[in-house]
Amino acid sequence: MKVAEQIKQPIAHEMELFEQKFSLSMKSKVPLLNRITHYIVNRKGKQMRPMFVFLVAKMLGDERLNDRTYRGASVIELIHTATLVHDDVVDDSYRRRGFFSLNALWKNKIAVLVGDFLLSKGLLLSIDNEDFDLLQIISVAVREMSEGELLQIEKARNLDITEEIYFEIIRQKTATLIAACCAMGACAVHAGKKDIETMRKFGELIGLAFQIKDDLFDYGSQKIGKPTGIDIKEQKMTLPLIYAVNNSNDKQRKWLINSVKNHNKDKKRVNEVIDYVKQSGGLDYAVSKMKALQQEALQLLKKYPESKYKDALVLMVNYVIERKK
């Protein structure tokens, strides 16, 4: 059995029910919107985010989940989908999960409006049911994700990213949504403030490790849906590259920065940068940071009683850093 299926096993029934509720949450009176949202639903990814919501809720709450938990998972998935749709427009990307993106099929204007529609649907789902605590969790995540993207754009211009700024960018851009999933799962079953904060931190640590793993894929040759060296071509300062820059002499540092800034479309130069980062110990350093985050996340789970849901969360943490794509 694949790891993803093992993780899903204890919440298979909830995920099935969630898919029905999620489809309903996107319904509209506009036929074009329904055609587009139908396309989205049929091309879903691994659905890690709702899985986090349900596993945390089941670990902390009763066996039977309340409607709030399903709404929380739907809000997360609506907001996540909205950000992906908008990301594809911003990045001029015409593929998503191996299929055409919305902007490739329906052009930018429609894609932006669909993203806005999904965002509003997510917010209204919370407001209509007076889930204001859940709404606060997701609203903070949306604000932080936007700030993280803008901070990255600002820093990419000068490539003056320190390790501290790098972690702040990935915390906001990637980790904040996974943190929101775990906090949402705890909050939905009325867990105490301490547990909600522990779960938020747990999600944040996994999110950071997840992003570092993504950074490492840029230096590997495994097929993961994006070509090697793409982060360098897009002038993204990833952790292995930041380590290499910080541990080089002036001449090497200038060559690295100049390569990323002015020669990022030159395939030979990009490959030279990749080789240099590998030789400088950048990859080993990133792997050690990722494993430290993994251990910290697993430590937070130790205080909770043994259950199949906790086991699935442990599997999820390990899957995040051991995945091949």
Tell me the CATH number at 127.
1.10.600.10
- Give per-residue pLDDT as tens, 199-238: 999 999 999 999 999 888 877 755 444 556 677 777 778 8
Only one residue has tokens 């897009």, namely 234
| Band of pLDDT at residue 63, cut at 50, 70 and 90 | confident
- Give per-residue pLDDT as tens, 24-62: 777 888 887 787 777 777 666 678 889 999 999 999 987
| Band of pLDDT at residue 93, cut at 50, 70 and 90 | low
Q: What is the pLDDT of residue 221?
A: 52
In terms of DSSP H, where are the helices of 29-95?
A: 31-41, 48-60, 67-90
Q: What is the pLDDT of residue 311?
A: 94
Question: 15 near 59, Cβ under 8 Å?
Answer: no
pTM of the entire predicted model: 0.87
Residue 207 has φ and ψ, to the nearest 5°, of -60, -40
Q: What is the pLDDT of residue 209?
A: 95
**Choice between 84 and 207, residue whose per-residue pLDDT is larger:** 207
Of 63-67, 84-88, 154-158, minimum mean pLDDT range:
84-88
* Structural domains in the chain (count): 1
Rounded CA-CA distance 155/172 in Å is 14
Write out the residue range of the structural domain in which residue 283 sits: 3-322
Cβ atoms < 10 Å from Cβ of 97 = 11
Highest mean pLDDT among 6-15, 23-32, 109-118: 6-15
Q: What is the pLDDT of residue 20?
A: 83
Rounded CA-CA distance 166/290 in Å is 14
Query: What torsion, rounded to 10 degrees, do the Cα atoms 70, 311, 168, 225 define?
Result: -80
